[in-house]
Structure 1
């Protein structure tokens, strides 16, 4: 039997698990996830009859393997209606992005993707299990969680947390080698943008020709505003839900500020951008801070080779250097293929 450990249950980990489980019949896969959910920043919450994706917004269709994978689990898969317009630092809105790409989510939200993938395997997923240490002894890997419990030994270990959290594990790893030092250095070099998100609910419909607005010059406090009602099954008729994501500078400055004040400020920006004063007074709100939301760069080429020779793999959209859900899935498939080849 081949024992495989995976730290983190994000989209990349889900895709890698699905591929390895199908290609290595004797694989025993253990996934350790610090939170109570799956799919990382592709996160979904529900409130009464409302469903909203408050991290990643949708899955793009620009990779054939990702499309094939998603199509194999199309239960509840829906296409987001509407184009993406742009706005500048002054708040001026214009038609902005190519309208040809398809944008997908699920009626029950983006987390359904990871639930489908993990559910189609024999992997065991342990939630609310925060890994705080990794070690290499002989040819095997072990990990230790926050409660002091040791997991393993594993023949192969995959690390799916964002680069700064992966770097923290590598920094304290009981594994003295040039491979660790090189991978640690390259992982530390991956820059991230923070995002503070407000979710705003309203008891009325909005009539707009677009699904979302994106700030293209990075000069506005808001980076993104999306209408969740453009996703079939997410918002009841007669209601509207906005997902408002602040830009990096605003998010860093206000990350630990009073959430109510942050929500009120972002609601005011939404009202101005969409030219509707009613939006400054939502009926209900939610919020979430993502300290490590969007990777600005990728892993240095060649930095992971020696570590993979020792059975340690890093994966996620940050490895690709592309802050998109489809990039995380694609990287998970690529990583899974390399694991299968090595085994």
Structure 2
């Protein structure tokens, strides 16, 4: 069976790997971090679980719905998403979007990533540094100099700047420069996720607020405790995902980590907690505050290319939006492209 290297164990890479494995190819996934899923990430602090990246999964097509149901323990978030304006006005918004199905898992959104990764060969904490032509195949080399092997095709799903660095470092055909130039046009919005645990829950009619006009410092505010199995009864868990403008301004001042009540908060974070209190009411002093940074959170545009020869591109940069279901569909399309290339 022909082997395929997949750079990145986010949702696009895992979806592609699963599709290739079922089509009798041998995918090998390389992931630089310690876990799978990318921004479909879940953390646990004490008896609270929370998704600090992607918040849920949409299923606008039957294949997506079938995938979610196949995990066996998926549930929906029942309350709607409302709209937050730059002047703190809160409105129900478009019912067709507010009430659409929002899928999640009691153990966290990483449950889907683990379902896709089950049975696959995934090499964690492995950073791919370059790709070189190897006879009729491609050879991958890790950042620590390890030879990762030769593969008939390579799928790149890392954010565009990281993908360009990998391609530019290797000995590849000249036309790869065209691909790199296209990838360099992709622009990303940064995000900082601020998760706060409170001793009480807010009395609000919505699950989450989304700032559609991109003029508020908070782009997303969600009641994570709405998700079944996430927090003890009565405990409130809110996630504020900050705008690109706010995240860029405070990037250096807000480092990732968990702060307990005895630890001082960075002043920008204190200001966010004041803004949350204004929107949902006083929930008491926080039990803890968790901070997570996403440098390549959401692409603002898509690259028009899907690859050169047997170097294939997938992920957020192809979809043009940071949505789990779009990343999965991008991975499926890439798998079909690779199958066609390797069976010609």
What is aligned with 2:270?
264
* C-alpha distance in 2 between matches for 1:221 and 1:254: 11
* CA distance in structure 1 between the aligned counterparts of 2:254 and 2:151, rounded to whole angstroms: 43
Separation in structure 1 between the aligned mates of residue 76 and residue 269 of structure 2, nearest angstrom: 28
Q: For 1:197 and 1:117, locate their aligned partners in 2 and report how far apart those are by CA, in whole Å.
A: 25
Question: Counterparts of 1:100 and 1:78 in 2: how far apart (Å)?
Answer: 15
TM-score, with length taken from structure 2: 0.92
Separation (CA, whole Å) in 2 of partners of 1:219 and 1:171: 37
Give per-residue Cα distances to partners, 1:17-39, cap 9 Å, x unaligned: 11110012xx2221111111111
Which ranges of structure 2 fall in alignment gaps of 5 or more residues? 256-264
Mapped to 2, the partners of 1:20 and 1:321 lie a distance apart of 23
Q: Give the Å deviation of 1:59.
A: 0.2
Mapped pair 1:125 → 2:130: no
1:78 positional shift? 1.1
What TM-score do the two structures reach when normalised by structure 1?
0.92
| Aligned counterpart, 1:209 | 205
Task: Classify 1:133/1:87 alpha carbon distance in 2 versus 1 (closer, same or farther; 3 Å).
Answer: same
Where does 1:147-162 land on structure 2 (aligned, <5 Å)?
147-162=144-159
TM superposition shift of 1:208: 1.2
Shift in Å, 1:322? 2.1
Residue 225 of structure 2 corresponds to residue 219 of structure 1: no
Superposition pairs of residues 59-208 of structure 1, within 5 angstroms: 59-73=57-71, 75-98=72-95, 99-119=98-118, 121=119, 123-178=120-175, 180-208=176-204
Q: How does 1:244-323 map to 2 (within 5 A)?
A: 244-259=240-255, 260-261=265-266, 262-274=268-280, 276-278=281-283, 281-300=285-304, 303-305=305-307, 307=308, 309=309, 311-323=310-322
> Which position in structure 1 is the counterpart of 2:20?
20
Quote the Cα distance in structure 2 between the aligned partners of 1:290 and 1:51: 19
Tell me by how many angstroms 1:340 deviates. 1.8
Q: In structure 2, the residue corresponding to 1:277 is in which secondary structure?
A: coil
The CA deviation at 1:117 is 1.0
Shift of 1:97: 3.6
Q: Do the aligned residues in 2 keep the contact of 1:65 with 1:330 (CA within 8 Å)?
A: no
2:41 corresponds in structure 1 to 43
